[in-house]
Structure 1
Amino acid sequence: MTLQSRRWMLMSEFRICIVAAGARGRAHARAWSQIPDAQLVAVADVEEERAHALANEYGMRAYADFREMLEREDCNVVSVCTPASLHCAPTVLAAQKGCHVLCEKPIALTIEDGEAMIEATRKANVKLGFFFQRRFGYASQKLDKLLAENAVGRPVLWRIFSEAEIRPKLAMHDKHGNNGPIGDYCPHLFDRWRWLLKTEALRVAARGFVYARGKPEVASIRELAIDTAAIIIEFASGDIGAIVITWGLPRGLGWRNSEAILGPNGIIDVDGEAKLTISRPEGQETFTVEDKLDMDLALVQDFIDAIRTNRTPKATGEDALAALKMSLATLQAIETGNWVSLA
């Protein structure tokens, strides 16, 4: 721990800077604002009006350049909420200045950037955490116990259907922004499988399309990401993960999800993070939670505790890098038409 880090810890205060003031920047600010020992000090966004709006809402200073913000502000935690292609630079600079970094997923669009982020924080001896907030949801916590108890047997076939209209943020459809659902959303699912199945992916097969091509909402994007895919992942445990996903449906169709875990002894149906039902020959059992957990807040609280107790955050850089490798293997499988090995 650096001398600067020791001084911050003695102050018992976490001073937060946020990079990017979009929807996820707002979510981070809202979560940080609920931490008693945290103070939101500044936000940077290339869209200055957006930075000022968020700054005014939470009493922060606003910047157009994250470099200037990190140079001027005495912060010790940085939330990185830019599009995935821009995660590396602010993470590395924050680490070099002795700041812990809590970053949105995915870690990056390339393995090189992801490894650079991990190495920079390791070298600076600061924490690096990632926003895989579903790890903290009620259903995920319950699934962790049920799978540990072998509730439906193994191996399982875990299938997910996720069907959505064209997303409101264009960066989500940009191959060089967040790289479509395979780059932006599937890392949540891949991390969920790795964490709950306690295993690593062996190989991936996939087919994909660009359903949004030709639609006026994305006409300004130079190179569209694949927005529709069928994905099969084999795990070292013998389990199989299967995803059918699209972000390319016409506007007005909304977003719907369906998730189930099939095992030799039964089925677990998952309804978001608030409800799941296990069906076995002896009958059905449903688990629900009335008060929906704030998963963003729970993740931020875990990150703060990791700093205070000098432990590893529950969602690490290595976890995020593993999910990125699964995303890249999926895209390679679509491009080549072949199985792609991850072993």
Structure 2
Amino acid sequence: MTVRFGLIGCGRVAPRHAQSLLQLPETRLVAVADVKENRARRFAEEYGADAYTDYRHLLERPDIDAVSICVPSGLHAPVALDALQAGKHVLVEKPIALRLEDADRMIETAEAQKRKLGVVLQNRYNQPMQELRRLIDAGGLGPLYLGNACVRWYRPQSYYEDEWHGTWAMDGGALMNQSIHHIDALQWFMGPVRSVYAYTATLAHRMEAEDVGVAVLRFASGALGTIEGSTLTWPQNLEGSVAVFGARGSVKIGGTALNRITLWKVDGQLEQEAEILTSQRVDPPSVYGYSHREVIRDFALAVRDDRTPGTPGLEARKSLALVLAIYQSARTGQEVQLAGDEGSDLGNRQAGHPF
């Protein structure tokens, strides 16, 4: 079975989806949609698809099984809900949504419609990330004591002068947009977060949301952690990394897109360190990395085989809840608890809107 895709939103990340859909034997790109007619037409011509300016017309096509959603973050939920209610499987870019109540509606609607809902957390599919996950699952690091996520990136003022970047309604700031992959990876390795205390600020840009944020975490296991995310490290991206420290080892993954092991000190494996480090020298050309194709392939196979995608909505909800808790702590100056349903008051709060 070939899974036939529509693609909604022909902006910055869309070529990653389109190229992957063309390269994979399991998928075919049928149609694309974008509110800008010229962009939709050019994109469709480049990738051999039909073009629409109204995505709802794309959703009416019976020859489309699934859609990739690449619109601004604030539109993820309404577009995804329309697609699910039209009977399409949905793969949406990160973050899943900007509010927990919207993420929950997406998850519930997918279940009710018996459709698949996947979220593009492509760095989980990188070889170093998979190696570290296998090591943790096997108990190779022993109990985990400390975890760190660090994103020291740079965006010029011009980046925030389009129609949506850096706004509360459509994007959020350095934590919700740029750091979400690293925040996802940190909690994927370390487990659930129970509480957070944070500061955020807007120091180097004219924008609504934050261009820098720092947070201290307490995990359910008792381990501690930190998050640092920014878009103000002039003149370029300096670091994007996740590190975990346990009783029997320490591992750090960095590179352009969490694609390279920069530290591997594990009890009983020290002799492998040079080989592991040498094998991870090549960085991708951008922060998107190389793994969009793996996400899309996994999602297509999930549709074909009727199984849960590797990065389903429930997984993506966790990093959204954590970023919202960071925003709430920064706003109130209080420690915020994440327990059970991630905190009932977070669900009705748009990302950062009251802050």
State whether TM-score is above 0.5. Answer: yes
Q: CA deviation at 1:96?
A: 1.4
Of 131, 138, 152 in structure 1, the residue corresponding to residue 141 of structure 2 is 152
Give the equivalent residue in structure 2 for 1:7.
none
Contact kept, 8 Å, 1:182 with 1:331, in 2: the verdict is no
Q: Distance in 2 between matches of 1:290 and 1:226?
A: 32
Name the count of aligned residue pairs.
322
- The answer on 1:301 being equivalent to 2:297 is yes
- The answer on 1:206 being equivalent to 2:195 is no
Q: Distance in 1 between matches of 2:67 and 2:81?
A: 11
Contact kept, 8 Å, 1:211 with 1:249, in 2: the verdict is no
Structure 1 unaligned residues grouped into runs of 5+: 1-11, 215-220
Q: Distance in 2 between matches of 1:52 and 1:319?
A: 34
Contact kept, 8 Å, 2:175 with 2:230, in 1: the verdict is no
In the alignment, residue 44 of structure 1 is paired with which amino acid?
A
Aligned pairs (5 A) from 1:258-277: 258-272=241-255, 273-277=259-263
Give the equivalent residue in structure 1 for 2:346.
none
Give the equivalent residue in structure 2 for 1:6.
none
Q: CA deviation at 1:295?
A: 1.0
SS at match of 1:113: helix
Q: Indicate the percent of aligned positions where both proteins have the same amino acid.
A: 31
Structure 2 unaligned residues grouped into runs of 5+: 340-355
Contact kept, 8 Å, 2:34 with 2:40, in 1: the verdict is yes
Change (3 A) 1:194 1:81: same
Contact kept, 8 Å, 1:42 with 1:73, in 2: the verdict is no
In the alignment, residue 277 of structure 1 is paired with which amino acid?
L
- The answer on 1:90 being equivalent to 2:79 is yes
Give the equivalent residue in structure 1 for 2:343.
none
Q: Distance in 2 between matches of 1:334 and 1:290?
A: 37
Of 47, 53, 76 in structure 1, the residue corresponding to residue 36 of structure 2 is 47
- The answer on 1:227 being equivalent to 2:211 is yes
Contact kept, 8 Å, 2:8 with 2:69, in 1: the verdict is yes
In the alignment, residue 317 of structure 2 is paired with which amino acid?
L
Of 102, 126, 133 in structure 1, the residue corresponding to residue 91 of structure 2 is 102
Give the equivalent residue in structure 2 for 1:127.
116
Q: CA deviation at 1:261?
A: 2.1
In the alignment, residue 313 of structure 1 is paired with which amino acid?
P
TM-score (ref. length: structure 1): 0.87
- The answer on 1:177 being equivalent to 2:170 is yes
SS at match of 1:156: strand
Q: CA deviation at 1:80?
A: 0.6
Q: CA deviation at 1:189?
A: 2.3
Of 230, 234, 239 in structure 2, the residue corresponding to residue 256 of structure 1 is 239
Residues 142-184 of structure 1: CA deviation (Å, up to 9, x unaligned): 1012222333332331123211222564333222221012212
Give the equivalent residue in structure 2 for 1:218.
none
Q: Distance in 2 between matches of 1:258 and 1:116?
A: 32
Contact kept, 8 Å, 1:28 with 1:79, in 2: the verdict is yes
Change (3 A) 1:281 1:91: closer
Give the equivalent residue in structure 1 for 2:348.
none
Q: CA deviation at 1:280?
A: 5.3
Give the equivalent residue in structure 2 for 1:339.
335
Q: CA deviation at 1:264?
A: 3.5
Q: CA deviation at 1:289?
A: 4.4
Contact kept, 8 Å, 1:329 with 1:342, in 2: the verdict is yes
Q: CA deviation at 1:75?
A: 0.8
Contact kept, 8 Å, 1:210 with 1:248, in 2: the verdict is no
Q: Distance in 1 between matches of 2:121 and 2:104?
A: 18
Give the equivalent residue in structure 1 for 2:264.
278
Contact kept, 8 Å, 1:88 with 1:117, in 2: the verdict is yes
Residues 31-85 of structure 1: CA deviation (Å, up to 9, x unaligned): 1111214221111111222212211110111111211222246311100111111
Q: Distance in 2 between matches of 1:269 and 1:194?
A: 14
Contact kept, 8 Å, 1:162 with 1:257, in 2: the verdict is yes
Of 56, 62, 73 in structure 1, the residue corresponding to residue 51 of structure 2 is 62
Change (3 A) 1:155 1:74: same
SS at match of 2:23: coil
